[in-house]
């Protein structure tokens, strides 16, 4: 599933941020997003909204951190990243180009691309992803402002939100 590949910059960020540091994690996220964009261009396809937005998000945060120094707590960086992801998804809905459409077009025949139902289903799926990212933002905020709360809360909330959105994405298009 290409939609899972689209989240690889966030996985790279999470792994590198945990192993090395937040600035390096942001740079890794930007680098992986750039690779995804290059992959699309080299295959003669347009880069996807999520890939471009992810690159801009990580590059801007990394640049900010390098120029001004990064003294944010760990959950502050995660909050910025997750909030940025939430905004990318929300903006894609506002401009009526839900980010899931580009991935769905890779899975369905072109004859359905212009049907209103195709856009409606993708708006619903994108809204579920936006809700998942909103849950992650709230979890990050709680962990940032309440250090007495176990980090497991954030881990559980993140996993539940992402697994729920992924399962919904797989189930919803086939329902009548």
Domain edges within the chain: 2-174
Owner of token pair 């939430």: 86
Residue 107 class from Cβ within 10 Å (0-12 exposed, 13-18 middle, 19+ buried)? exposed
Instruction: Assign 176 a pLDDT band (cuts: 50, 70, 90).
Output: low
Nearest to 81 by CA among 151, 1, 139, 148: 139
Q: State what percent of residues in the chain have pLDDT above 90.
A: 74
| For residue 10, pLDDT beyond 80 | yes
| For residue 1, pLDDT beyond 70 | no
Tell me what the mean pLDDT of segment 69-89 comes to. 88
The number of angstroms, rounded, from the C-alpha of 119 to the middle of its chain's C-alpha atoms is: 20
pLDDT at 3: 74
Q: Of 2-11, 19-28, 154-163, 166-175, which range is least confident? A: 2-11
Q: What are phi and psi of 20, to 5 degrees?
A: -115, -55
Report DSSP letters for the chain, one per residue: -HHHHTTHHHHHHHHHHHHT-HHHHHHHHHHHHHHHHHHHHHTT-PPPHHHHHHHHHHHHHHHHHHHH-----HHHHHHHHHHHHHHHHHHHHHTT--THHHHHTTTS-GGGTTSHHHHHHHHHHHHHHHHHHHHHHHHHHHHHH-TTS-HHHHHHHHHHHHHHHHHHHHHGGG--
Highest mean pLDDT (candidates 68-82, 98-112, 127-141): 127-141
pLDDT at 117: 93
Q: What rounded mean pLDDT belongs to the chain? A: 91
Q: What are phi and psi of 95, to 5 degrees?
A: -85, 10
């Amino acid at each position: 599933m290409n939609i899972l590949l689209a989240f690889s910059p966030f996985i790279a960020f999470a792994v590198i941020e945990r192993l090395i540091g937040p600035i390096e994690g942001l740079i890794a996220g930007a680098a992986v997003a750039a690779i995804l964009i290059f992959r699309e261009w080299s295959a003669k396809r347009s880069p996807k909204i999520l890939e471009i937005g992810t690159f801009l998000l990580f590059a801007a945060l990394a640049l900010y951190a390098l120029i001004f120094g990064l003294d944010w707590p760990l959950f502050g960086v995660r909050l910025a990243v997750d909030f940025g992801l939430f905004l990318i998804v929300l903006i894609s809905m506002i401009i009526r180009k839900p980010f899931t459409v580009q991935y769905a077009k890779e899975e369905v025949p072109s004859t359905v691309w212009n049907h209103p139902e195709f856009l409606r289903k993708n708006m619903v799926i994108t809204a579920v992803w936006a809700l998942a990212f909103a849950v992650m933002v709230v979890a990050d905020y709680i962990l940032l402002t309440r250090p007495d709360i176990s980090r497991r809360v954030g881990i559980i909330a993140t996993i539940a939100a992402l697994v729920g959105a992924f399962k919904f994405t797989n189930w919803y298009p086939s329902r009548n």
